[in-house]
Structures are given as structure tokens and as C-alpha cells.
């Protein structure tokens, strides 16, 4: 069977990471979390005291930074990590999962130069197919020719609650209304930015998983992927 490129886009808390990782495991594909790259650069900017809105400094920083995604170690998997993230050779998998880094990532992701560099990196990482990549612009910009595009969504209340539970599990004491505000603020910025905003690609399948679990959502996507694989094999791409 031909190996597909699967793009999964959607807002924060839509379940993209868990679903995409699951889909990749079921199909034997590579899983890549593009948001982790924006988060890693944001972490570096915060550590260097660079504002996540400083276009010039962030353009240069992105150029001299090496970000690599690797399959998680069993130890990382135990704490829920789906990709291991290396920033200039140092493991920052845990450090990038804070609300502060998430907000900074969303801000620097509005900068065209930053996106240009990270998108090129994502295209290199996913070249060759057999990959499930998740983010905000995968089906529209990174892999516009992906054979299967999914736009994953859920109600804002449900998405905030999922994020809040994740924070609780990590022992962070944020309240649900605080997490709700953080998710809404990030959504607004991700959807309204000028460069590559979060938008459903015209040919993406909309999956609203407000009332669905991770397993169920992943199984639905795998079903769609198998159908696409068969169609492509029939069309002579086997
Ligand atoms: O998926 P995430 O929540 O880890 O992403 C963090 C931020 O990175 C998100 O708020 C916007 C940005 N991002 C993006 O602009 N494009 C992507 N393909 C992935 C993430």
C-alpha cells in the first residue's frame, strides 16, 4: 500500500497530539508535532530575554537554532510525551509544556520569518510520506498536497477542560477559568494572525470530537486513511 501524508490541524485542546500519535502508531507511520517546534523556539526566546513579538531578533534566533523531534523514550511516554524535543541538542520535552511557553509560541508563530524557517524544517522532516503531522497550517501550508487532511475540533469548554486535566495531572494549580481564558486567547491569535492562520483547508474532513474519546477519534481517522490508501493503490500508486 502507498504511504500517505496525513495532516491534522485544529485548535488547542482539540486532542490533536493524542489522536495523531495514536493514528501514527496504528498505521506504523512517523508522528510529528509541529507545535513542539514553535514551543522550543519560544522557550529559547524566553530564556534569552527576547520578547516573543521582536520580529528581528526572533528571525535571527530561529536561523541559528536547531530543533529536532524524536520518537519518545519509554520514560517520556510514561509522562505523556508524544515526541521528544531537542533544542540545540538538549532535551526540553518537559520544559516546553507550560502555559507561559504556549502563549509565547502562539505570539512568535505570527512572525512570517519564523514560520518560513520552521515550515521548511517540517517539510524536510515529513518528506517521503508515511507521516502524521499535526499543527495549525499543515494541510494549508506545510503539506498542501497531503493525501488526507483532518480538521479536528471540539467545543471551547471541552477543550479547556482537557487542558486543565493535563495541567492537574502535572500538579499545576491552575483553575479551570484560567485555563479557559488561556485557550480562548491563544485560539483567537492563532485564527486571526495574518500569516498562515488556523483555518480548515477546503479539502479537510471536519471531525468534531467533543463527545468522542481519543481511541474512537483515532479509529475513525485510520478508517479514512485506509480508504485513501486503497484508492491510491487502485489508481496505480502502489
Ligand atoms: O499545538 P501546540 O498547542 O503545541 O502549539 C503551540 C503554538 O504554536 C500554537 O498556539 C500556535 C503555534 N503553532 C503554529 O502556529 N503552527 C503550527 N503548525 C503549530 C503550532
Total domains present in the chain: 2
The whole-angstrom separation of Cα 155 and Cα 208 is 8
Do 1 and 75 reside in the same domain of the chain? no
Between the CA of 234 and the centroid of ligand 1 the distance, in Å, is 36
Residue 51 included in any domain: yes
Half-sphere exposure of 99 (CA within 13 A, CB side): 21
* Residue in 27, 230, 7, 12 with CA at minimum distance from that of residue 122: 7
Q: Dump pLDDT digits (tens) for 12-55.
A: 999 999 999 999 999 999 999 999 999 999 999 999 999 999 99
Do 56 and 116 reside in the same domain of the chain? yes
Do 69 and 143 reside in the same domain of the chain? no
Q: Note the pLDDT of residue 62.
A: 97
CATH number at residue 180: 3.40.50.300
The whole-angstrom separation of Cα 86 and Cα 130 is 22
Q: Is the CB of 39 under 6 A from ligand 1?
A: yes
Residue 150 included in any domain: yes
Q: Note the pLDDT of residue 82.
A: 84
Nearest CA to ligand 1 atom 4: 35
Residue 39 included in any domain: yes
Residue 169 included in any domain: yes
Nearest CA to ligand 1 atom 5: 35
Between the CA of 97 and the centroid of ligand 1 the distance, in Å, is 12
CB burial of residue 90 (10 Å; 0-12, 13-18, 19+): exposed
Residue 22 included in any domain: no
Do 152 and 183 reside in the same domain of the chain? yes
Q: Dump pLDDT digits (tens) for 88-143.
A: 999 999 999 998 999 999 999 999 999 999 999 999 999 989 999 999 999 999 99
Q: Note the pLDDT of residue 237.
A: 59
Length of the chain as a residue count: 238
Instruction: Using the predicted structure, report yes or no on whether residue 79 has a pLDDT greater than 90.
Output: no
Domain-ending residue, one of 128, 148, 179: 128
Do 103 and 178 reside in the same domain of the chain? no
Do 107 and 157 reside in the same domain of the chain? no
Angle at 71 between CA 171 and CA 101, to 5 degrees: 40
Q: In ligand 1, which atom is closest to the CA atom of 186?
A: 10
Do 111 and 147 reside in the same domain of the chain? no
Strand, coil or helix: 222: helix
Residue 105 included in any domain: yes
Q: Is the CB of 72 under 6 A from ligand 1?
A: no
Q: Is the CB of 32 under 6 A from ligand 1?
A: no
Do 69 and 89 reside in the same domain of the chain? yes
CB 7 within 8 Å of CB 148: yes
Domain-ending residue, one of 128, 163, 197: 128
23-47 per-residue burial string, b: 16 or more CB within 10 A, e: under 16: bbebbebbbbbbbbbbbbbbbbbbe
Mutate to test the pocket of ligand 1, among 187, 190, 197 (most ligand atoms within 8 A of CB): 190
Mutate to test the pocket of ligand 1, among 16, 18, 20, 34 (most ligand atoms within 8 A of CB): 34
Q: Is the CB of 43 under 6 A from ligand 1?
A: no
Do 171 and 193 reside in the same domain of the chain? yes
Nearest CA to ligand 1 atom 20: 35
Q: Dump pLDDT digits (tens) for 157-205.
A: 999 999 999 889 888 889 999 999 999 999 999 999 999 999 999 999 9
The whole-angstrom separation of Cα 124 and Cα 104 is 25
Q: Note the pLDDT of residue 173.
A: 87
Domain-ending residue, one of 74, 94, 128: 128
Domain that holds residue 93: 30-128
Residue 133 included in any domain: no
Residue 234 included in any domain: no
- 222: how many CB neighbours lie within 10 A of its CB? 17
Residue 54: C-alpha distances to residues 47, 61, 99, 188 (Å): 14, 10, 20, 20
Which residue is associated with the grid cell 518560513?
116
Amino acid at each position: 500500500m502507498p504511504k500517505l501524508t496525513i495532516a491534522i490541524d485544529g485548535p488547542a485542546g482539540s486532542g490533536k497530539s493524542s489522536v495523531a500519535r495514536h493514528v501514527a502508531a496504528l498505521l506504523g507511520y512517523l508522528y510529528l508535532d509541529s507545535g513542539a517546534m514553535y514551543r522550543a523556539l519560544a522557550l529559547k526566546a524566553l530564556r534569552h530575554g527576547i520578547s516573543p513579538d521582536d520580529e528581528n531578533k526572533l528571525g535571527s534566533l530561529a536561523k541559528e537554532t536547531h530543533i529536532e523531534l524524536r520518537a519518545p523514550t519509554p520514560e517520556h511516554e510514561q509522562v505523556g510525551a508524544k515526541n521528544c524535543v531537542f533544542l540545540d541538542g538538549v532535551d526540553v520535552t518537559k520544559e516546553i509544556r507550560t502555559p507561559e511557553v504556549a502563549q509565547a509560541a502562539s505570539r512568535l508563530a505570527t512572525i512570517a520569518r519564523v514560520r518560513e524557517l520552521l515550515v521548511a524544517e517540517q517539510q524536510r522532516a515529513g518528506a517521503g510520506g508515511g507521516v502524521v503531522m499535526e499543527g495549525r497550517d499543515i494541510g494549508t501550508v506545510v503539506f498542501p498536497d497531503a493525501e488526507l487532511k483532518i480538521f479536528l475540533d471540539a467545543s471551547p469548554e471541552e477543550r479547556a477542560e482537557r487542558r486543565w486535566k493535563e495541567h492537574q495531572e502535572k500538579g499545576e494549580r491552575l483553575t479551570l477559568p484560567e485555563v479557559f481564558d488561556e485557550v480562548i486567547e491563544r485560539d483567537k491569535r492563532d485564527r486571526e494572525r495574518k500569516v498562515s492562520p488556523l483555518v480548515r483547508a477546503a479539502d479537510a474532513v471536519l471531525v468534531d470530537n467533543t463527545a468522542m474519546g481519543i481511541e474512537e477519534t483515532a479509529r475513525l481517522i485510520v478508517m479514512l486513511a485506509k480508504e485513501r490508501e486503497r484508492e491510491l493503490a487502485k489508481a496505480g500508486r502502489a
